[in-house]
Amino acid sequence: MNKEGIRVIVGLGNPGLEYAKTRHNVGFMTLDRLAEKHNAAFMRNRFGLIAKWGNIFLLKPLTFMNLSGDAVGALARFYKITAAEILVISDDLDLPLGTIRVRARGSSGGHNGLKSIIHALGTENFPRVKIGIGRPTQGMTVIDWVLSRFTAADWTVLQPALEKASDAAEWVVVKGPVDAMNHFNSH
């Protein structure tokens, strides 16, 4: 099942009900779908909310987005997990709403959660599944945009995208990030 050695799937988001359905929390939402598919229940521990899918940790850091690396780095050190064994699911402003992109590695692209993880792990060499949330509407700041809730019309696009992002994460686990990129990035 674990060809490329993924041992942790991290969904990025902010803890708390006030952030639950915001654009920045699509990583959490995708992880919820993965956990549901694999009958995994989240439990709180010192790293955040953790569930297990076989031998793979599903992690929702509870450190808030900008400090995601604190939780990811601590878990990686404790379990002796390398960056290449960590798959991160995050939102992406530069992709249209609902677009999914898989990357084998890369920069933060200005995403503070990814910046924090890169800093904590000391490398950009970890795979990602990115979910497009689009750019802010006229007159809205990036911060206000990522912390805003989706409209009803957005949800009709987002629901299938979250399912596709969950499928992409499974694909990375089973067949590796390059194969997942070839499959998901062309659609």
The CATH number of whichever domain residue 102 belongs to comes to: 3.40.50.1470
Is the whole model's pTM more than 0.75, yes or no?
A: yes
Residue-level pLDDT, tens digit, the chain, 187 residues:
444 489 999 999 999 999 999 999 999 999 999 999 999 999 999 999 999 999 999 999 999 999 999 999 999 999 999 999 999 999 999 999 999 999 999 999 889 999 999 999 999 999 999 999 999 988 899 999 999 999 999 999 999 999 999 999 999 999 999 999 999 986 5
- 45 a known binding residue? no
In a domain, 2, yes or no: no
Q: Which backbone phi and psi does 62 adopt, to 5 degrees?
A: -105, 25
In a domain, 161, yes or no: yes
Q: How many domains does one find in the chain?
A: 1
Contact by Cβ (8 Å): 73, 120: yes
In a domain, 94, yes or no: yes
In a domain, 173, yes or no: yes
Tell me how far apart the alpha carbons of residues 103 and 109 are, in angstroms, rounded to a whole number: 12
Range of the domain at 109: 8-184
- 19 a known binding residue? yes
DSSP three-state, residue 186: coil
Question: Which sequence positions are flagged as catalytic?
Answer: 24
Q: Which helix (H) or strand (E) holds 129?
A: strand 128-132
Contact by Cβ (8 Å): 162, 154: no
- 64 a known binding residue? yes
